[in-house]
């Protein structure tokens, strides 16, 4: 049975510790050391332990790791991610701060995407040039992009 079907039949299943650190490492693509570090710095909420003291993770933990991975992809610093985790643990009263954090991160990410699009335009010009196509000079592509930014 998959985790979502299990959750539908048993609402507590989402929070139930069920995965070893090795299983979570395999599912998440993170190393065991990274998972331990995330817990140590406060990026992971309380991780359950079994009767022998081994970490046990839930589907909720896996979803949290997926979110953290996406935030990392945005360029959010580990410090900011820990700050976000602390805000989440504090409760709904911190929603305005979380919203501001995500808006700021989104603005920064869109700026990075724009820079990357500019880099792609330069590469496209250079590739066309090396393939023998009469392509505009890459500097012209950058200037066009900069003019587009000014008018936007």
Could you tell me if residue 4 is inside a domain? yes
Q: Report the percentage of the chain scoring pLDDT > 70.
A: 90
Residues 130, 103, single domain; the answer is yes
The number of distinct structural domains making up the chain is 2
Q: How far is CA 113 from the centre of its chain?
A: 15
**One domain, residues 59 and 128:** no
Please tell me whether residues 110 and 136 are part of one structural domain.
yes
Q: Domain of 38? A: 1-76
The per-residue pLDDT for range 51-60, each reduced to its tens digit, is 998 999 999 9
Residue 52 lies in a domain: yes
Q: Tokens at residue 86, please?
A: 């602390």
Which residues on adjacent β-strands are paired with residue 56?
Answer: 48
Mean pLDDT calculated for residue range 3-17: 74
The residue among 17, 41, 76 that closes a domain is 76
For the chain, give the mean pLDDT: 89
Q: Are 16 and 61 members of one domain?
A: yes
Asked if 101 and 80 touch (Cβ cutoff 8 Å), the reply is yes
- Model confidence over 81-104: pLDDT tens digits? 999 999 999 999 999 999 999 999
**Does residue 78 carry a pLDDT above 80?**
yes
Taking 80 as the threshold, does the pLDDT of residue 11 lie above it?
no
Domain membership flag for residue 133: yes
Inside any domain, residue 137: yes
Question: What integer pLDDT is reported at residue 48 of this predicted model?
Answer: 87
Q: Is residue 86 part of a domain?
A: no
Residues 71 and 96 in one domain: no
Higher pLDDT, 97 or 139: 97
CATH code, domain carrying 57: 1.10.1660.10
- Which DSSP state fits 16? S
pLDDT band at 1 (very low <50, low <70, confident <90, very high): very low
Instruction: Please indicate, yes or no, whether residues 64 and 109 belong to a single structural domain of this protein.
Output: no
pLDDT tens digits along 116-132:
998 998 998 889 889 98
């Amino acid at each position: 049975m998959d985790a979502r079907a299990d959750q539908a039949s048993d609402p507590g299943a989402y929070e139930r510790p069920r995965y070893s650190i090795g299983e979570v490492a395999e599912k998440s693509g993170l190393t065991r050391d990274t998972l331990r570090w995330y817990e140590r710095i406060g990026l992971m909420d309380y991780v359950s332990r079994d009767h022998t003291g081994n970490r046990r993770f839930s589907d909720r933990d896996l979803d949290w790791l997926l979110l953290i991975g996406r935030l990392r992809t945005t360029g959010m610093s580990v410090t900011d991610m820990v700050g976000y985790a602390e805000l989440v643990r504090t409760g709904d009263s911190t929603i305005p701060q979380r919203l501001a954090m995500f808006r700021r991160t989104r603005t920064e990410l869109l700026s990075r995407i724009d820079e990357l699009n500019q880099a792609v335009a330069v590469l496209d010009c250079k590739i066309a040039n090396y393939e023998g196509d009469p392509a505009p000079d890459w500097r012209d592509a950058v200037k066009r992009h900069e003019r587009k930014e000014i008018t936007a």
